[in-house]
A and B are shown apart, each in its own frame.
Chain A
Amino acid sequence: MNKRISVLDLPNSYVGKSVPRPNAKRLVQGRGTYVDDIELPRMVHLAFHRSPYAHAKILSVDCDDARAIPGVVGVYTMDDLKDTITPWVGTLDHLKGIKSAEQWPLANGKVFWQGEPIVAIAATSRAIAEDAADQILVDYEELEPVTDMMTALDKDTPVIHPELGDNLCFQRGVDSGDVDAAFENAAVVVEDSFRFNRHTGVTMEPRSIICDYKPADGELTLYMSVQCPHMSKNLFAEHLGLDENKVRVICKDVGGSFGIKIHTYSDEMAAGAIALKLGRPVKFIADRLESFTTDIHARDHRVTARAAFDADGNLLAIDMDDVTGVGPYSVYPRTSGIELNQVINLTGGPYKHRNYRVDGKVVFLNKNVMCQYRGVGHPIAIAVGEHLMELGARKLKLDPVALRLQNFIPQDAYPYTSPAGAIYEMQSHHQCLDKLVEMMDYEGLRSEQKSLREQGIYRGIGFASLIEVTNPGPAFYGVGGAKIASQDGCTLRLDPTGGVTATTGVTEQGQGTETIIAQVVATSLGVPIETVRVVTGDTEAVPYGGGTWASRGAGIGGEAAFQAGKALKENILDLAAIILQAKIEDLDIIGGNVVDADGGNERLSLAELGRIAYFRGDTLPVDAQPELVVTRHYTQRDYPFVFTNAAHACLLDVDIHTGMVKLQKYWVVEDCGRVINPKLVAEQTRGGVVQGIGPALFEECLYTDEGQMINGSMADYLVPMAAEMPDIEVGHVETPTETSELGAKGVGEAGTAGAPAAVMNAINDALSPFDVVLSDMPFTPDKILRGLGKI
């Protein structure tokens, strides 16, 4: 019996070390391969004529002038593609009552948002295709657009899709404990209303696809900038009527995704249909305006919420109403209802209250579609819950840190079922917040804040404690009928040289997936990390898996890689024992060599073992067949998801004369279970925090009442830039999950999840001398000055 400690804890383990990313080298040399870098013979380029209206009936479409332009290969309306592609509906069986209308790749008689594609033009260059798109003449009958989520369900509001009966997409509530009694008996009640702004991902590389259909084989190869290659393979096959095994998705470098590149987009599906029509490669690269008006938007919520406390400061209850205004469709296949589910699951998540009520509604609007973006529901839930905690602390005259520590779920109560029904395996809220307060020198900052106020400088300190959904099981999508894998796999091959090729279904968008998989494999198998080559993103090459979503790469993909490493090690040692005429239990693999388990004497290099296995099988006993390729899969089945937790703090100054916010510093203590690569965890956290600061201070998709997006350019839509961002200090607490041997949880979204709350709380702390409380994001200078009564 092997009584040694886990290989993860050995000094030569790569797990826990900040190994640099081997794939970064090509990117700093400009030698990456993004989809637009790929040129194929006879490839045509797509451009779209898109609706200028948010809601209109199409009376006629005249494509004659467009067709006449030299270089135009094909012009397509929906009628031209109906024999090639089927429509889709963005619902899931486990979201009870969710409804949406049939969606086609091109407008089918009506348009429902500004930017919806109506006509697709294929031409020998993008420039010619755009010239032709300008020549399309469409006759519209304008219809009244529905653009206000608060009146979308009113009787006199037009119904966007008459066949659905009303504009309600999804509704869900929870009513746990006795909320009314808790509020009646409360010593302190706080409440506020919130506005969460519609924003979007702004990936540096826009959505990109090449569809290469070869009629002779009936095979479709998709070069995509995407997070979930297998999901895309399934969807294109299903809606283009192809066998799934005739569709291959190749995803090389991805220039940012953040949840944007995980959904079904009309223009990309149209590209697939047109490739089938033409029998030649079709490329579509969204331009920046197309990105702003058709990449999914996120987080348009209006919330009212209240919390009840007893006189000692114990949180008794949370009660909230949430309305989300999505686009004219629930997005396929993940739906636009999942975010409400997350808000319900997560609000007040760190705390011990037992009374909880949410009434949530998701309504259709004539704006761009809205769906899951980094953090999915977390920023709303955390901002609401943490704002209520700050208001509570203020009214109770307690320190906000003390109030949180007092109300966290007691450490001995885990595993814990929340009043929303979520199950937490184990959290470390107290430990994270204690560490955070120490890292930031909380007491010192409070006294500095006091003295600065005397000088007229209004500094604020804001906190956010949070939980994050990671490592999802099939409960997330699979049970709802979506073909989105929650399991993932890793195949390892010992090559004749002694190197290892690892292929995995989890994917890389720059977060470092390939690096951590290499770390885990090298550790589990006992080989130098330089000898492990990781391949991702090609459905023809990798095991069937879910890719990147819900912070699952390290936790799910990592565990599959760990188990694959163990299995390959066993097979290698089986063979080594035969070659060396030794007992398996007396052997181990360290540093790429088979060694004596006791003492570590080198017995056989893996290169030599590979040589014998692959080329000199004649020297082995007749019943010894080396098996040097193994695959292992992992499904997290113990819980619907494995929750992580973190504590954030933001330090900023509000200039009460200009309304400008100057971020000074930001701290995060993150518990994502076992940390595979501290540097990459810190960088995911930093990037995530900045992506959460964006919508708190700058980012908003601005629409007119007519449904026109008025800031669809990078000059008009503001994102965080380097000069405005603070340094972000990251600390780690490690509570490995017992759901897997590796013990890793996810970390990709926690930064984005917590930052809006921490920034909001810091602004309100800064403005506390003026008794001003703001909860309408983004906190732009004009809103701050208005709050202060200065304008």
Chain B
Amino acid sequence: MSWFIQTCTSSLGKKYIMAITGLMLGGFLLVHAAGNSSIFWGRSAFLSYAEHLHSLGPLIPVAEIILLSIFLLHVITGITLFLQNLQARADRYAVSKPAGGRTWGSRTMPYTGAAILLFILMHLFNVHFIEHNLPIADTVNAVLSRPFYTHLYAAGMTVLALHISHGFWSLFQTMGINHPRYNTLIRIGGYLFTGLIIAIFLFIIFLLLFSPGYLM
């Protein structure tokens, strides 16, 4: 077992953890976006989707615990990397200029990560840690019909897009996949993945703002 712990605590091991948990969270996002797209088919489709999910019974808390573990692993490893990297250059440069490699996504990775954490907490307090005496369609409608939340959710999606724009390519590089033959595919795949997920969520957000009775 010691080799396993040694690998996980090495610099490369922590990157593997970020990549694998990031991929899993990306998978969750895709499923979440696909499930939520049932909203496009109206109130009854959305409620039926929610009902089907809840009929899974004991599988739900199990899935929640697995998701929470993956998420915590991603966050804690991310914070560890962030602090170690700050330490690795204790004295900053007086003049610092990007040499052409960094992108908006890559340079803001820890900060977009922190913002996404706050966003997810807000989202959970809106739809999860509440009294479940209303149908979920009414809860979602109540939140997203208010422009204040539209702004917050749209901002959250923008930050998420920025985070994935670096994370998607980065996870392939970390897992050792970098070859001229596949690099274009990975880049385009990253744009499509990010674009698809963000488009679904943004569409729902604005649909419920501009058409308040849509889920009634």
Partners in one complex: no
Report which B residues bind A (CB closer than 8 A): none
